[in-house]
């Protein structure tokens, strides 16, 4: 639902969207059902990062689960990360000896989009444990280049977070996708409300918000910063 929301927002802004990597849940997954476990997308357009960077955080959804035979209310969480494209940034140093590179076959739900060759790439940065993957390209080399660009962005963000913690004199834990850490709630039952917990911006029409109508939320986030 969040993937569709950001896709629709990007379409309204005439941004270009590319799915870099996608992993899917198992069939018969109970309340979660079959869905996306994680996805990495690239959004290109004027001011795309500036507009979207404050969407980073935990998003909470409350609805009647379509996978519950008893029509029970279900709460789920998703963590959103927004990173800049740092492929041309020379400040981020990545040493080859600090990387583990694995190649594997691309996969999809129900056998769709399966690439029989091992063109998908997984790169692990050993000192930090950061893992990035890419399977959007047919060629192994292009997937590796894209994964390295994502790794550079993640390492840049990692260094920025470390600097912030040092300045604040605290040792914060990594944010988890769970209760208490959310930045925005999308409630579809028993009432309809989308509320940003940082700016207090609300909408009683979650269908429009989930269809990409994010301008009021994003504009207020920018003012807050």
Which tens digits make up the pLDDT trace of 3-55?
A: 999 999 999 999 999 999 998 876 444 444 457 889 999 999 999 999 999 99
- Say yes or no: 115 and 143 in one domain: yes
Which range, of 14-28, 100-114, 126-140, averages the lowest pLDDT? 100-114
- Domain with 25, as residue range(s), is 2-85+176-224
Is the pLDDT at 179 greater than 70? The verdict is: no
CATH number of the domain that 158 lies in? Answer: 3.30.160.20
Angle at 83 between CA 3 and CA 74, to 5 degrees: 35
Q: Is residue 159 part of a domain?
A: yes
Instruction: List, for residues 72-91, the tens digit of each pLDDT value.
Output: 889 999 999 999 887 766 67
The rounded mean pLDDT for the chain is 85
Lowest mean per-residue pLDDT among 72-81, 90-99, 185-194, 210-219: 90-99
């Amino acid at each position: 639902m969040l993937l569709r929301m950001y896709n629709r927002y990007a379409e309204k802004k005439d941004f270009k969207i590319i799915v870099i990597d996608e992993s899917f849940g198992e069939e018969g997954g109970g309340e979660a059902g079959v869905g996306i476990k994680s996805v990495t997308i690239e959004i290109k357009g004027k001011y795309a990062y500036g507009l979207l960077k404050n969407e980073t955080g935990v998003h909470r959804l409350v609805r009647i689960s379509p996978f519950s035979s008893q029509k029970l209310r279900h709460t789920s969480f998703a963590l959103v990360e927004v990173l800049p494209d740092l492929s041309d940034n020379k400040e981020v140093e990545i040493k080859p000896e600090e990387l583990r590179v694995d190649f594997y076959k691309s996969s999809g739900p129900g056998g769709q989009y399966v690439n029989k060759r091992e063109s998908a790439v997984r790169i692990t940065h050993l000192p930090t444990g950061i893992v990035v993957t890419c399977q959007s390209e047919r060629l192994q080399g292009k997937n590796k280049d894209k994964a390295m660009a994502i790794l550079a962005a993640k390492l840049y963000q990692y260094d920025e977070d470390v600097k912030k913690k040092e300045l604040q004199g605290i040792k914060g834990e990594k944010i988890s996708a769970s209760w208490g850490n959310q930045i925005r709630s999308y409630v579809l039952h028993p009432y309809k409300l989308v509320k940003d917990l940082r700016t207090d911006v609300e909408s009683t029409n979650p269908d429009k918000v989930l269809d990409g109508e994010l301008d009021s939320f994003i504009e207020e986030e920018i003012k807050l910063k």
